[in-house]
Structure 1
Amino acid sequence: MTDQEADGERLTTREAAERLGVKPETVYAYVSRGQLSSRRDPAGRGSTFDAKEVDALVRKGRREPSAGSDVTQRIRTGITLIDKDRYYFRGVDATELARHYGYEEIADWLWTGTMRAGVRFTAPGEPLAAARRAVDALPAHSGSTDRLRVAAIAAAVADPLRFDLDREAVLGSARTLIPTLVDALPVAGRPHRGEARLAQRLWTRLTPAQPDEPSLRVLDMALSLLIDHDLAASTLAVRVAASARAHPYAVVSAGLGALEGPLHGAASGLAHRMLAEVLERDSAAAVVSDHLRAGRRVPGLGHRLYPGRDPRAVALFGALEELPGARPALEAAREVEATTARHVELHANVDLALAVLSVASGMPAEAGETVFAVARTAGWIAHALEEYEERPLRMRPSGHYNGPRPPRPLP
């Protein structure tokens, strides 16, 4: 450092945080990322920061997107990397994580960076009771995502501390919200009591069939594989909500709203119905032909982010092969893939693998969507934690107005 730099204006942590419009702990996050440098105060009262560096970071954050781009194309994230036909959570192969750890362990590690073996998420009494009352009041034909959204809202109302966005408070909300969503769903089978892992409790909400340990392991793997997948539509909605400093429950509600579209979370239900029809008609070719004749895409095939095979599907199919009861649905899925490959090479994606699990386990068509939503909640929380450290309201792109030019007469 030159003498001139040494003599420049120095800011305390509080002053730097105020100038940046962030919390003091976020200032240290900028230091850890190499975006700011710090120096100990000679008086021993903490760290100080170069005012010029802080002002440069402020200008960088306020800079308008260049023509033809927007802020959503410049979102920094350290959660998921998709590289060719593999994907990684914080640099670790996500499929290997799913093979060696449970959903709750991976979720907690993704949030904190610490792997706690055997960690369990439990729902507190009052928010769970409120969520169950709200879900029970819905019409019988309500879908699972309807129930999850209502449960999230009811749990939020029962939590007076939901507006506390300090990191530990958000983590506490996350660890209770996910089990609340699961335990608020209607029971289809014999419920598990006590400290059962989340996959066990979710299974009883999806099917009356009694699970064996291999089946529960497959469901737990499915949850783990689906925790996050970069900036999917629902995750982008979550980041926008978190940028506006919405609390964790509202952030999850935003994600659930975007997830419900047929091109996102509901895709596995379409694949489920297709597989059920293949098994009923004993002909993948006939079912595929009907889809193409009607101008519909064959569900469960292809993924825009993977030129080859979807690694989530590969891992889940591998686990499903260990279940004897899944063999007919697995063979049907492979027939669909092989039939379609005669014309275009599209590989099975994770929606088709979820469909095999739901068909083989006697679950309804929307079960895959439920698994997807519960699993992705952990990823949404991870993205919210990242966004809470960014400049507030940065997710505010400008629209390109193409309406009538003013002034116009009153209508």
Structure 2
Amino acid sequence: MDDEIADEQRLTTREAAERLGVKPETVYAYVSRGQLASRREPAGRGSTFDAKEVDALVRRGRREPPAGGDAFQRIRTGITLIDADRYYFRGVDATDLARRFHYEEIADWLWTGTLRTGIRFDAPAESLAAARRSVGALPAHSGSTERLRVAAIAGAAVDPLRFDLSRDAVLGTARALIPTLVDSLPAVGPPRDGDGRLARRLWSRLTARPAGEAGIRALDMALSLLIDHDLAASTLAVRVAASARAHPYAVVSAGLGALDGPLHGAASGLAHRMLTEVLERGSAAAVVADHLRTGRRVPGLGHRLYPGQDPRAEALFTVLGELPDAGPVLAAAREVEATTARHVPLHANVDLALAVLSVTTGMPAEAGETVFAVARTAGWIAHALEEYEERPLRMRPSGEYHGPRPPQPLP
């Protein structure tokens, strides 16, 4: 009798989906994120779900603030946790992932929950051709983020299936979009289109110097470490766009637009110029003093989410030490950190580590921004996949009006 009661309390996938008000595939997404537990039934019913657990998830959803409420303060996510000077992708230490696996492997695992070693991302010929034509039409002085935005728009224009927001379709778009962004950038070294990992292909877009295995490893590590970092400004823009059911290309364009701001994506370029000046003048003290004298903060130091060391910087510094010419640049970065620490206990952040990479390898000052944008595209897609499963248009805050009270006369 107890077994019969237990069976009555279990729901099929379709019943659970109806009770939750979602599609059946979304039910399995809840399972993959640990929000629901499923059980395979030997009698051929497929997966079943505990009715009480489903009802509890329904109640949690009802407590979510309505449109116009404080939705921006309560965005549930199962992607990144930042805790005690460490950060984790789906509960796994992100720096350990970056040491063990390549960028494409981590990105695909973050999207699907399945690790496929050796996976490659390749750009469709038509999308890549359109992106290259569009990027090639830009002025020579165009920035890398501008080129990436144009490439994303061009890729969307030739993809008639871009409005298909089913999970498999979005995953296919993601695996094609990221290599399209990379391979559409103009090459400054021998192009490596379709040749192995994205890090190797991106290298030829950033510097004419030979890569070497140590260089590719450092660039791949940087891409892997930067895939996601919770709800940064660009990621929040992505989730707003996804909430409005923008397609993945438009979602990535929203992220790139926010990243183009000087307070978000450009920080590594400032650190690059600072390190170059330290090397030219032979003194970090003089350069730090000049920054402070003019009221500028010293770039590449401190992070409001890490009271101690930025784990991304420390992980990247380790592999940068393997580059043949990195010694003087690493020493300059450490001298900047030590000089500033005399009065303010600030540690190097990932922007300073990116600057060490770009200065050491002869990349331009904006190279760190390019690496950041390409890397973060994978995280933006992960957040879009989450947001597509939520109630649409839930991120609609109400403005607090401070204008003149009506009625007012016509102007």
Same fold per TM (> 0.5)? yes
In structure 1, the partner of 2:325 is 325
Counterpart residue identity of residue 223, structure 2: L
Structure 1 pair 61–398 and aligned structure 2 pair: CA distance change class (3 A)? farther
In structure 2, the partner of 1:389 is 389
Q: How far apart are 1:409 and its partner, in Å?
A: 2.1
| SS of the residue 2:326 aligns to | helix
Q: How does 1:102-141 map to 2 (within 5 A)?
A: 102-141=102-141
Give distance in 2, aligned partners of 1:15 and 1:398: 35
Q: How far apart are 1:24 and its partner, in Å?
A: 2.4
Contact 1:120/1:195 (<8 A) preserved: no
Of stretches 188-197 and 110-119 in structure 1, the one that deviates more from structure 2 is 188-197
In structure 1, the partner of 2:89 is 89
In structure 1, the partner of 2:150 is 150
Q: How far apart are 1:324 and its partner, in Å?
A: 2.3
Contact 2:16/2:54 (<8 A) preserved: yes
In structure 2, the partner of 1:258 is 258
Contact 2:271/2:355 (<8 A) preserved: yes
Q: How does 1:39-58 map to 2 (within 5 A)?
A: none
Q: How far apart are 1:241 and its partner, in Å?
A: 0.9
Deviations 1:116-169 (A, max 9, x none): 111111111000000000000001110000000000000011111111111111
Contact 1:284/1:332 (<8 A) preserved: yes
Q: How does 1:214-253 map to 2 (within 5 A)?
A: 214-253=214-253
Q: How does 1:153-232 map to 2 (within 5 A)?
A: 153-232=153-232
Q: Percent sequence identity over matched residues?
A: 83
Contact 1:21/1:391 (<8 A) preserved: no
Give distance in 2, aligned partners of 1:327 and 1:34: 45
Give distance in 2, aligned partners of 1:363 and 1:72: 37
CA RMSD, Structure 1 to Structure 2 (Å): 2.9
Q: How does 1:354-365 map to 2 (within 5 A)?
A: 354-365=354-365
Give distance in 2, aligned partners of 1:287 and 1:350: 20
Q: How far apart are 1:61 and its partner, in Å?
A: 3.6
Give distance in 2, aligned partners of 1:91 and 1:216: 27
Return 5+ residue gaps in structure 2 as ranges: none
Give distance in 1, aligned partners of 2:112 and 2:52: 32
Counterpart residue identity of residue 314, structure 2: V
Contact 2:134/2:154 (<8 A) preserved: yes
Contact 2:69/2:396 (<8 A) preserved: no
TM-score norm. by structure 1 comes to 0.91
Structure 1 pair 199–33 and aligned structure 2 pair: CA distance change class (3 A)? closer
Matched residue pairs, number?
409
Q: How far apart are 1:282 and its partner, in Å?
A: 1.1
Counterpart residue identity of residue 75, structure 1: I
Contact 1:237/1:258 (<8 A) preserved: yes
Contact 2:124/2:176 (<8 A) preserved: yes
Contact 2:121/2:198 (<8 A) preserved: yes
Give distance in 2, aligned partners of 1:191 and 1:265: 25
Q: How does 1:16-95 map to 2 (within 5 A)?
A: 17=17, 20-30=20-30, 60-61=60-61, 63=63, 65=65, 70-95=70-95
TM-score norm. by structure 2 comes to 0.91
